[in-house]
Structure 1
């Protein structure tokens, strides 16, 4: 176990900024000093060359990298983002030790996977599960080194998807703790992802989030959404806590299927209201598909409340999200389920005046001026609301 650390991320980022400015100043000074030393020749009284500047720059570079690692790790360890001082106990005493341990752990997984391929058995599976269970989430440098060594293809196999087809061996369960008994037998290792957030699949998803949220994944991972079977990104967003950008990319991919697969998104967005608000605001087509496919899901009501309740997120983004939700509800004859209607009816209160203006043909303030009268009336009717 590493040391107990306390950091004010805002202040630490300012220190890093000053370190970068110091490196730039040294870079500007070094050629001038080299030229002055060359011009002085034998009359130069100091050490030959600009070795001291090289050492100073290397110190600033290494110190900045170490501080970034500490910030990234601490922000992953503290689940609630707060202002001011954050504190926690690091899994590893240094970034170097985290990387070395991750590479060793990855090799152990690859070795267990090879053994399973050569001699499939219950013992070989247990060995593989044990290797994954020994992993240490919480350190972005560890997660990045581990995933880099494993590679995307191995992660896909460990999460239980058959890379040869789009057949889902790991269906994301509604209770996150069930197994698929309907999928046909597969000669590859059984998926590890169907054991819930505390199981091997959940551990892998947490490690992916550690690396992905801090921007430490290489380009080879860019094709995971769209290139891997949809069960893989579904598992990553349901069992882990990736970035809003990754979650919304997965949402677009899942909702683009026929029929759409909303359940993993509903579960994930309940824990990510800021990501859901962004999706609702920036993706009107996906908003419509999600509400149409999951309108009867009580979990969707919870997610919508987190994203649309008064004062949630940025005012402008929240209003644009509401506009797309109003359009989606007003575009369909069938009203959402009771739980969704109740949440929308309660949370839309601050915008009832704008909706009434649009319904009555007036000119409400942006962005509500893009809402037509019929859609506004249909939305109010679907929620059984009266506005004056």
Structure 2
């Protein structure tokens, strides 16, 4: 199992686009040619019929899919691919092999979860974590990760986190402390990585998009973020879910670790925060509301927010036009009618 692969990322991306163009040309002419050949019958002067055209389209499609899978996997393993030849060792020899193994590894997880929901014991949970541990070393392949998720489905995936978090106070609502996250990374971390990797590669089905975000508790979402390396899109989706809640949902009865997870994630990816502030006019008000900062219950939280804002908005950070729009939205939000900043 495994394959040594060398790819020039720029050349591969160009070739993928060229094959897509070739498929489009064949697809746009296929119907007309098929009709003309059928109407001509024996009078057709060409030496061959429509079969070679179909084979050409299938060749482009198969080759494009294989190369895209290789590029998706390469980008997971070497995020900053750059230019020139990149060499890596793939865990699987093909997308089909990766997906087959993902389905095979998901089945014991689902079965262990089923038994745990009946027995609800330390031993039954140990079997769940043993099943998830089998995923380690394979998660860089997004086809594998997507197959695991597809086999489990959103309900079982969410249930795994909920079972682990249910005896941890308000964790599902307000998130997990850094120590709890560290512990969880050893058990459910592979599932969080699977979700983040499949999402980054654009391999999640529709049921994992809006419906999953809407139905999943904030603490579960921030646990996924904290245990993985989320894309800018995923991180900002979770941030909008957490920050868009009414302030009354974050009363200081306990620490709001969700906010801490977001700030730490943005500290690692400040351009994601820049993008959030530029694209969503309400995000600045949600994040910077004085009451939200005061009620976080986390020591030094105000300083953490200030630090990550500096990373995201200081001169030269990110893309100039995006940074400028982020500043515009912050200034407009702080000067808006009924703003909490007006009048001190």
Q: Give the TM-score normalised by structure 2.
A: 0.81
User: How far is the alpha carbon of 1:97 from its aligned partner?
Assistant: 0.6
Secondary structure at the residue paired with 1:26?
A: helix
Structure 2: runs of 5 or more not aligned: 251-255, 295-299
Find the partner of 1:287 among 276, 281, 284. Answer: 284
More helix by share: 2
For residues 325 and 117 of structure 2, the distance between their equivalents in structure 1, rounded to whole angstroms, comes to: 51
Measured after TM superposition, the shift of residue 81 of structure 1 is: 4.9
Match of 1:322 in 2: 327
Q: Provide, for residues 198-229 of structure 1, a one-character-per-residue CA deviation record: whole Å limited to 9, x for no partner.
A: x1222111110111112111111121222211
- 1:240 aligns to what? 228
Which one of the candidate residues 201, 208, 222 is aligned to 2:188? 201
Q: Are the equivalent residues in 1 in contact too, given 2:173–2:217 (CA < 8 A)?
A: no
Compute the displacement of 1:89 (Å): 1.9
Whole-angstrom distance in 1 between the partners of 2:128 and 2:2 = 26
| 1:61 Cα deviation after fit | 0.4
C-alpha change, 1:138 and 1:302, in structure 2 (3 Å) is farther
Aligned-residue RMSD, C-alpha = 3.0
Matched, 1:304 2:309: yes
Instruction: Verify the 8 A CA contact 1:209 1:241 in the aligned structure 2.
Output: yes
Superposed displacement of residue 294, structure 1: 3.7
**CA distance in structure 2 between the aligned counterparts of 1:294 and 1:4, rounded to whole angstroms:** 49
1:133 alignment counterpart: 133
From 235, 252, 271, the counterpart of 2:240? 252
The residue that corresponds to 1:359 in the other structure is none
1:319-358 paired onto structure 2 within 5 Å: 319-325=324-330
- Quote how far apart the aligned CAs of 1:83 are: 4.1
Answer yes or no: is the 8 Å Cα contact 1:263–1:294 preserved in 2.
Answer: no
| TM-aligned CA distance change 1:289 to 1:3, over 3 Å | same
- Could you tell me which runs of 5 or more consecutive residues in structure 1 were left unpaired when the two chains were aligned: 179-192, 334-373, 379-388
State which drifts further: 287-296 or 11-20.
Answer: 287-296
How far apart are 1:281 and its partner, in Å? 2.1
Task: Determine the structure 2 residue equivalent to 1:14.
Answer: 14
- What SS does structure 2 have at the residue aligned with 1:87? strand
**Partner residue in 1 for 2:297:** none
Equivalent in the alignment of 1:154: 156
Structure-1 separation of matches of 2:287 and 2:36 = 67
- For residues 323-344 of structure 1, give each alpha carbon's deviation from its aligned partner in whole angstroms, at most 9, with x where no partner exists: 44456678666xxxxxxxxxxx
State how many pairs are aligned. Answer: 318
TM-score normalized by the length of structure 1: 0.73
**Which residue is equivalent to 1:143?**
145
Report SS of the residue matched to 2:188.
helix
**In 1: Cα distance, 2:25 partner to 2:157 partner:** 43
Q: Distance in 2 between matches of 1:209 and 1:83?
A: 25
Aligned pair partner of 2:171 in 168, 174, 177: 168
Structure 1: distance between partners of 2:233 and 2:122: 38
Say if 1:50 and 1:159 are closer, same or farther in 2 by CA, change over 3 A: same
Structure showing greater radius of gyration is: 1
Shift of 1:68: 0.8
Q: C-alpha separation between the residues in 2 aligned to 1:107 and 1:98?
A: 15
CA 1:39 to 1:232, structure 2 compared with 1: closer, same or farther past 3 Å? Answer: same
Aligned to 2:59: 59
Deviation at 1:234, TM superposition (A): 1.1
CA separation in 1, counterparts of 2:189 and 2:24? 42
Answer with 8-17 or 57-66: which moved more. Answer: 8-17
**Offset of residue 268 of structure 1:** 1.3
**Superposed displacement of residue 138, structure 1:** 0.9
For structure 1, which segment, 266-275 or 239-248, has the greater mean C-alpha deviation from structure 2 after superposition?
239-248
Q: Hey, what's the Cα distance between the residues in 2 that align with 1:126 and 1:310? A: 50
Report SS of the residue matched to 1:151: helix
- The equivalences for 1:215-226 within 5 A come to 215-221=202-208, 222-226=210-214
Q: CA deviation at 1:167?
A: 5.4
Q: Higher RCO, 1 or 2 (CA under 8 Å, sep at least 6)? A: 2
- Taking the aligned partners of 1:281 and 1:24, their CA distance within structure 2 comes to 35
CA contact (8 A) 2:172 2:220 kept: no
Is the CA contact 1:224–1:233 (under 8 Å) kept in the aligned structure 2?
A: no
Cα deviation, residue 152, structure 1: 0.8
